[in-house]
Amino acid sequence: MDDLVQEFLEETGEGLAELDGDIVMLEQNPNDEQLIGKIFRIVHTIKGTCGFLGLPRLETVAHRGENVLGRFRDKDLEVTAEYVSLILESLDRIKLIVEGIAETGSEPEGDDSELLAKLDFVYEGKVVEDTATDSPPATPIDDEASPLKDVPIDADLSFDDLDALFEEDNALSRGDALVEEVETPEAPEEIIKVEPKAELKKEVKKEPAAAAKKAAPVATQQSLRVNVQVLEELMTMVSELVLTRNQLLQTARTYGDSEFTIPLQNLNQVVSELQEGVMKTRMQPVGSAWGKLPRIIRDLSVDLGKKINLKMTGEETELDRQVLELIKDPLTHMVRNSGDHGIETPEERIAVGKSPEGVISLDAYHEGGHIIIKIADDGKGLSSEKIRQKAIDNNVATAQELEEMSEQQIQQFIFHAGFSTAEQVTAVSGRGVGMDVVRTNIEKIGGNIDLKSVEGKGSTFVIKIPLTLAIVSALIVEVAGQRYAMPQISVQELVRISEDSDHSMETIKGSAVLRLRDSLLPLIALKDLLKVNNPEQIKDVLENNEEDNVISLEDKLKSPNHYIIVAHVGSYSFGIIVDKVFDTEEIVVKPLSPILSNLPLYAGNTILGDGSVIMILDPNGIANAMGEIAMVDVEDKNVDEEELDDAKRKISLLTFNAEGETLKAVPLSLVSRLEEFNIADIEESGGQKVIQYRDQLMPLLPFSKGFEMGEKTQQVLVFLDQGRSMGLMVTNIVDIVSDALNIEFTSAKDGLLGSAIIKDEAMDVIDVGHYLGLASGDWFNQRQKNSAMDATKTEQKILIVDDSPFFRNMLAPFLSVDGYSVLSVDGALEALEMMADGKMFDLIVSDIEMPDMNGFEFADKVRSEDSPWKDTPMMALSSHAGPEDISKGKAAGFDEYVAKFDRDNLLDKVLETLSNNKSVAKG
């Protein structure tokens, strides 16, 4: 049987099993909108899927049933017992057909016209006669009753009728093993006269048993399906184990060395491995959820007469199967939407000057512990005009409100219920079971969805979801003396506000905002949001913490220290003011007790390593509480070519204080983490400060000789390369800025590359290499500063091609300190693009081992006859610098070949190569 059909059967089976109970509940609570919505969606899904699989009978029944449910949902039809039985009847019919498919692989034959007539009858607004429901054309299958009851006993049955009955009954009594004699009845020739009821029953039942036997292998040939529940429970238990371990470790730390230390370390390791193992069993490539999309798109394009090309990348990206399961339907829905509403017909496309074939691209990748899935189409995009109209029609917003909204805000309306802009209700989509459900489902799993659309150009949906639901990483913050957890998924950055920092909070008529780089960020104090200033709720907190709580907003803004969590939800950014920020912690989300579940600001609660209970904040809830209108758009600005070029040269720098007045800066990409250690945890080994960090001993270096450590805690920049880490102790971390790095003059001081003007302020750029060298002798050889600056080399342009950001960021400042203008790219392909754009350089320094295209191939291309760069000197930079490598490099067209770690040699060679080139040019 077709895999797709098999999958459909499994899914439908699950859906139907749920439906029975739901409909019965509906009868009891006819006004439960959520329930109606749920039933409607299940039927809608069945209908939608079987449309693609080519199951017309099933589709018809589901479609008509859905019509009636739609009226329930729109509340223009009251849910009565009659209607419920009618719906149940159609469900039974659906089950009957589904079971028929399960056995034979194709739809069983049968006549549904009576049922359909009744459904249409109701749909058109007439009352079903009681008599009609009393004698349904096909009896429900879930009891002993067989369709035979309704067949007049003494009637003549044609062979066709009997055959149909056989088939229906096959479905009914699959698995019925009580039949003694199993023999295939001979096909009756013409017409058989059926006399006694019992005998016919027996006759009919023979076949089912045989059929069931035949069907059995189909059901078992599938791979072993482990119950989700089992995996779920396993994961929960492991999560609990992890929590307990964390508590144990924390306790053990306070006691210092004891006989528990060793077993605990073992336990620690085993638990970590166990956790990893269990996580792995739950991981599946995202491609498995995409499997049926090409087919859906193909069928869709045939049905709608469109040409659609579905491009998928990143199928191998793995994520938790539970998450995968939950995003499967939303994804299918969105891809279908893109095909149905997004892509235009070939004629329309040609008319607007696009290629007749539309492209839907699906892309999945990891980003910062989350999975990003992008669904983009190059279709007609969202029509703000239509959405605006619909918003007015549906009374979600007034014309005046809409006037004031930006394009992007208006587009967000498609995430509201009942917002399909398709003008026609088709079998494909357009009933308003739509983006609202998609968004709800995605938010349910702690993800968010963002939308960008340009009318006429296409739409892009970006879904950001956590890798796994069981354990999330969260930032622990404090407000009014109590801690809360903020899921890391929506935290973009942290900003510290103090008197001497660059950032400051301002108020516009009482509402706080923050100038952050080039945007204005609306702020909300978590204190106000949680109303923890309310004296009744926090009486005792107040007693301990008086001055913190009685101050007004104005005062609060003036008070010296605040932290702002810059959060990003969907396409909105906003800042949340908190009192303190602690560490990030891996937490296990536990659901809230039902008496608290009405509080939208919380996503759950958890127990921290120290045993205390903590509430987990829900970023979506906070965003809603702030009111979407109040938020800034962070629409991507149209960056023109020049700016892009500039932006490439801009790098993010971390600024900090260490000694003296001048701020220090280091390229952010070199820093792997920022940490704050307790002084008590810092140990000394061999005359050097060290700390146990992530199961390793990490050397801690003072910024300079006379550096004074903090009193209680010490802020540390952690550098990590090739599995080794090093911590640089600094006084305090200030900010992250983005600017072009032009080192104006070199410093004679060890550890400093030189000074640069960054964001209009002079800063010392530190030489990470120096510290790495100090931390471990073999990292780099100590650099002898080349103090003689060669005036001729200024404004010579060097292009660095290296896939490793570490080296890119090492080399760029290192070369620019010697007066070169440096541009770095992360691969040969990008470099070749620049070549095609006609950019010229005086020297190309390229890595050899790179993905996509290695250095030798790159050199080949550059040295080809028609290349504009064929005379540009090239230097290879590689960690392998044996004689063979060097000769191979020279053969490929490199002028020089330098080992990556040999920095002195590198500079010399750069100088040499450039001057050689010059002399060649002169000569």
Partner 1 sequence: MNDEIEYIESNETEYLMVMMGDQAFGIPVLVIQDVLSSQKVTKIPLSIPEIEGSLNLRGRIVTAINMCKYLNIETLNSHDNTKDMSIVVEHNKYLYSLIVDKVGDVLSLPNNKIEKNPVTLDTALKEISSGIYRLEDRLLIVLDVIGFLNSLCKEEVA
Using CB under 8 A as the criterion, which residues of the chain lie in contact with partner 1 when the complex forms?
240, 243-244, 482, 530-532, 536-538, 541, 590, 593-599, 601-602, 605-607, 611-615
Whose Cβ is closer to partner 1: residue 223's or residue 598's? 598
State the DSSP code for 799: E
Of the candidates 190, 198, 86, the residue with the CA atom closest to the CA atom of residue 132: 86
> Alpha helices of 451-585 — where are they, by DSSP H?
526-529, 539-544, 546-549, 553-558
What totals of helices (H) and strands (E) does the chain contain, helices first? 30, 38
Q: Minimum distance from CB of 601 to partner 1 (Å)?
A: 6
Q: Minimum distance from CB of 582 to partner 1 (Å)?
A: 15
Query: At 731, which amino acid appears?
Result: T
Q: Minimum distance from CB of 534 to partner 1 (Å)?
A: 8
Of the candidates 752, 717, 745, the residue with the CA atom closest to the CA atom of residue 733: 717
Residues 6+ apart with CB under 8 A from 213: none
Identify the residue whose tokens are 């019925």.
Answer: 176
Q: Minimum distance from CB of 21 to partner 1 (Å)?
A: 18
Whose Cβ is closer to partner 1: residue 247's or residue 821's? 247
Whose Cβ is closer to partner 1: residue 529's or residue 632's? 529
Whose Cβ is closer to partner 1: residue 271's or residue 449's? 271
State the DSSP code for 792: G
Query: For residues 866 and 896, is the Cβ–Cβ distance under 8 A?
Result: no
Whose Cβ is closer to partner 1: residue 150's or residue 610's? 610
Query: For residues 278 and 313, is the Cβ–Cβ distance under 8 A?
Result: no
Residues 6+ apart with CB under 8 A from 413: 387, 390, 391, 396, 397, 419
Q: Minimum distance from CB of 476 to partner 1 (Å)?
A: 13
Whose Cβ is closer to partner 1: residue 330's or residue 609's? 609
In whole angstroms, what is the distance from residue 482 CA to residue 793 CA? 58
Q: Minimum distance from CB of 531 to partner 1 (Å)?
A: 6
Whose Cβ is closer to partner 1: residue 602's or residue 897's? 602
Return the half-sphere exposure (C-beta side, CA atoms, 13 A cut-off) of residue 136. 23
Tally Cβ neighbours within 10 Å of residue 455: 15
In whole angstroms, what is the distance from residue 829 CA to residue 850 CA? 10
Tally Cβ neighbours within 10 Å of residue 684: 9
Q: Minimum distance from CB of 875 to partner 1 (Å)?
A: 60
Q: Minimum distance from CB of 613 to partner 1 (Å)?
A: 4
What is the bridge-based pairing of β-strands 632-633 and 688-693?
unpaired
Whose Cβ is closer to partner 1: residue 13's or residue 30's? 30
Whose Cβ is closer to partner 1: residue 85's or residue 236's? 236
Whose Cβ is closer to partner 1: residue 586's or residue 830's? 586
Q: Minimum distance from CB of 611 to partner 1 (Å)?
A: 6
Ordered strands of the 752-758 beta sheet: 732-740, 650-657, 663-667, 761-766, 752-758, 743-746
Residues 6+ apart with CB under 8 A from 555: none
Whose Cβ is closer to partner 1: residue 429's or residue 605's? 605
Whose Cβ is closer to partner 1: residue 234's or residue 607's? 607
Whose Cβ is closer to partner 1: residue 585's or residue 750's? 585
Q: Minimum distance from CB of 625 to partner 1 (Å)?
A: 10
Whose Cβ is closer to partner 1: residue 365's or residue 582's? 582
Whose Cβ is closer to partner 1: residue 285's or residue 621's? 621
Residues 6+ apart with CB under 8 A from 179: 202, 205, 206, 208, 209
Q: Which two tokens stand for residue 892?
A: 């490929």
Q: Minimum distance from CB of 607 to partner 1 (Å)?
A: 5
Q: Minimum distance from CB of 623 to partner 1 (Å)?
A: 16
Q: Minimum distance from CB of 251 to partner 1 (Å)?
A: 14
Q: Which two tokens stand for residue 230?
A: 């089992």
Collect contacts of 781-784 with beta carbons under 8 A, ≥24 apart.
781/901, 781/902, 781/903, 781/904, 783/903, 783/904, 784/904
In whole angstroms, what is the distance from residue 700 CA to residue 730 CA? 10
Residues 6+ apart with CB under 8 A from 158: 191
What is the bridge-based pairing of β-strands 458-466 and 448-454?
antiparallel
Q: Minimum distance from CB of 591 to partner 1 (Å)?
A: 8
Of the candidates 220, 413, 437, the residue with the CA atom closest to the CA atom of residue 328: 437
Whose Cβ is closer to partner 1: residue 68's or residue 526's? 526
Whose Cβ is closer to partner 1: residue 482's or residue 786's? 482
Among positive and negative, which fits the CA dihedral 410, 412, 418, 424? Answer: positive
Query: For residues 332 and 325, is the Cβ–Cβ distance under 8 A?
Result: no
Query: For residues 61 and 112, is the Cβ–Cβ distance under 8 A?
Result: yes
Q: Minimum distance from CB of 124 to partner 1 (Å)?
A: 36
Q: How far is CA 367 from CA 331, 419, 465, in A?
A: 19, 31, 10
In whole angstroms, what is the distance from residue 234 CA to residue 240 CA? 10
Given phi > 0 = left and psi -120 to 50 = alpha, else beta, which region is 505?
beta
Q: Minimum distance from CB of 28 to partner 1 (Å)?
A: 15
Whose Cβ is closer to partner 1: residue 601's or residue 798's? 601
Q: Minimum distance from CB of 532 to partner 1 (Å)?
A: 5
Q: Minimum distance from CB of 26 to partner 1 (Å)?
A: 18
871, with CB counted inside 10 A (0-12, 13-18, 19+), is exposed
